[in-house]
Structure 1
């Protein structure tokens, strides 16, 4: 337990972390990887280069400091991060190493000595937070379908659009596949020719659970260059082997009788399609509105698959093309607007699920809040380091 004095000291660092947090975490990662390059096998190198990972860690530190007197309030964020840790193989023995380098980065960046009350208080706090992560992740490892990365065979590779391929995976050992929750993801472990370290990426499962395969639908990323997505598109084919971790993630659809609203931007359709299929199977009478915002028809992945599912009168599928090739394509032209969004929404209370690029989700989130939708009705998933949409309203 932290003493009252330690909690007061940590609370006093909130404005310091707000100003210098990213500098601290950037220094932390730089020194950690310099001394322990083997950890580069676990981390997304692109997120390091763009600064997204240091920003995400700085945000987590800020949240911990702001809620130090009630750490239970950040448990949902802890669980979200813990899912990713379990998915990529973070283990208990990694936490002391991280703690040592994080405290050293604080000392160096803030000009403090090792016996400064701030460093001592944060050392105590880190120990408590690390123990929470270790316990949560231990339970997740025990509940996972398997440990580590399991060999799969690519049973099929299907072109979905100019930018998206679907990959179907079946166990190389012929064993069964555990069920997953619609909305969850798997991690791909890629040993790419010419690359010194392994690359691990998370991809949402895009098909319904209960089949003899897992499916992911991958967009080729070019800005920044998607090392793993390009590898999958260009070098992985049917009958090749690929290694994946057991399904993880807490962005899952809730069983409810209220209408379900799914809003995707681009390839953000993938976890929502899995949710859509499950609801169609388990709650066939539940009203569903599926809104897809896509650049144009050429990059509209999985479109026909969703279209076929909307045969019932209580299912609505709405497509917004920002720059359509054909003037008659889609239901709306241009970017999604508050007026267009309002026309899709039901009068009664509903559950909303968002997935897509961060700017898209922030825009839709703001529009929903402006339309009177409560934040506890809105769930969303980031394709990248865990962060939270800004409460602008």
Structure 2
């Protein structure tokens, strides 16, 4: 890419800041109109609530702002690569996306889209695409190298279903071909693909693995989010309604960078709502290793009846003196010593359970993560020791 082309890219930053979501919204409509088969790959719920358009606009803006040194975006690019590999994105998809993205820039900007500008964005896009393709190839190669690993969609059979609460089901899965399961890291996720008759589409969703790696089964814990008549929540609702022991689901191999860090530091787990699955996998892993370092478990939900894994955490706490748990309930009435009323408030936790030198793991909605990240950093916790997993497309830029 020439210096002149970089200047042209940087010149579009103000437009992207003001109209980025409008551009990406136009892009997705155009792409799906010309290539409707891609609807089987994209989460159409996130299309409807505009989260995917916003995430793409944020990514395009960041790339334009750092066109002089795109290496600073490597961490974010790897995160996107993990999402792509979990959806079986392949090199040819980048050609389709590039064609429609460039056409969208030209059609949205009109006369402002000079030949030189479109050429600059063409060079920039395919430079990024080549980087992504290389990163994802390495990820696919690693999946294959893992004992029992695979790429693409693989059928799994449901062997057990457990109702954790009225809203959350844990689904236990084994490979339909009875092959080996690859080892996964505590905190990773798989993609699940379901055919939705209402939409006449396959729809993928990511679900964290909610148990430590065991070589016997995968477990996902799915909250029913029934948004009537809308793709958002359709997959979880469909799974709850129609999937039972003996039925099949298609999965991609485990991936994701939200992983338990093996160290001698204490661990603090903080979750809200259905944010527990990756954290409970981490807790189970630590319990299996019989770690004796301090472990703090903090969870908040609406009421005790909707508190998934409550008994399991209590059992682990009773078995391991180093584990201490705290529960916050929005609708708690006569709270006892083990229950705190209201939303999760770390100020109500004794500082001894929130040590300065610890690894912190946050999982929940973006507002939940922002609130507690801010609190922890205000208490002097190093931001590098705070790790988080956000629901849906990434939107948080915390440091």
Of 277-286 and 179-188, the range deviating more from structure 2? 277-286
Deviations 1:63-96 (A, max 9, x none): 1111111111111111111111111111000101
- 2:167 aligned residue (163, 166, 176): 163
**Structure 1 residue 219 displacement after superposition:** 0.5
Q: Which residue of 2 aligns with 1:107?
A: 106
Q: Distance in 2 between matches of 1:149 and 1:27?
A: 30
- 1:238 aligned residue (232, 235, 245): 245
Q: Distance in 1 between matches of 2:193 and 2:251?
A: 6
- 1:154 aligned residue (131, 153, 158): 158
- SS for the counterpart of 1:124 is helix
Q: Which residue of 1 aligns with 2:33?
A: 34
- Say yes or no: does 1:382 pair with 2:390: yes
Q: Distance in 1 between matches of 2:132 and 2:349?
A: 39
Q: Distance in 2 between matches of 1:277 and 1:376?
A: 24
Q: Cα gap change, 1:348/1:367 in structure 2, threshold over 3 Å: closer, same or farther?
A: closer
Q: Which runs of 5+ in 2 are unaligned?
A: 144-148
Q: Which runs of 5+ in 1 are unaligned?
A: none
Q: Which residue of 2 aligns with 1:346?
A: 354
Q: Distance in 2 between matches of 1:344 and 1:11?
A: 48
Q: Distance in 1 between matches of 2:337 and 2:353?
A: 22
- 1:323 aligned residue (331, 346, 353): 331
Residue pairs, 1:196-215, within 5 angstroms: 196-215=200-219
Q: Which residue of 1 aligns with 2:7?
A: 8
| Cα contact 1:321–1:329 (8 A) shared by 2 | no
Deviations 1:122-146 (A, max 9, x none): 1111111000100011111111111
Q: Distance in 1 between matches of 2:75 and 2:398?
A: 16
| Cα contact 1:362–1:389 (8 A) shared by 2 | no
- Say yes or no: does 1:124 pair with 2:123: yes
- SS for the counterpart of 2:213 is coil
Residue pairs, 1:1-393, within 5 angstroms: 2-112=1-111, 115-144=114-143, 145-223=149-227, 225-282=232-289, 284-310=291-317, 311-324=319-332, 326-328=334-336, 330-341=338-349, 343=351, 345-390=353-398
Q: Distance in 2 between matches of 1:255 and 1:227?
A: 37
Deviations 1:163-183 (A, max 9, x none): 100000011111110011111
| Cα contact 1:297–1:325 (8 A) shared by 2 | no
| Cα contact 1:297–1:329 (8 A) shared by 2 | no
**If the length of structure 2 is used for normalisation, what is the TM-score?**
0.93
- SS for the counterpart of 1:153 is strand
Q: Distance in 2 between matches of 1:107 and 1:82?
A: 27
| Cα contact 2:105–2:113 (8 A) shared by 1 | no
Q: Distance in 1 between matches of 2:327 and 2:264?
A: 24
| Cα contact 2:182–2:215 (8 A) shared by 1 | no
- SS for the counterpart of 2:274 is helix
**Structure 1 residue 243 displacement after superposition:** 1.1
Q: Distance in 2 between matches of 1:329 and 1:156?
A: 35
**If the length of structure 1 is used for normalisation, what is the TM-score?**
0.95
Root-mean-square deviation over aligned CA pairs: 1.7
**Structure 1 residue 389 displacement after superposition:** 4.0
**Structure 1 residue 346 displacement after superposition:** 3.4
Q: Distance in 1 between matches of 2:162 and 2:331?
A: 25
Q: Distance in 2 between matches of 1:193 and 1:50?
A: 21
- SS for the counterpart of 1:111 is helix
| Cα contact 1:106–1:112 (8 A) shared by 2 | no
Q: Distance in 2 between matches of 1:256 and 1:385?
A: 29
**Structure 1 residue 344 displacement after superposition:** 5.9
Q: Distance in 1 between matches of 2:129 and 2:350?
A: 43
| Cα contact 2:272–2:363 (8 A) shared by 1 | yes
Q: Distance in 1 between matches of 2:338 and 2:122?
A: 55
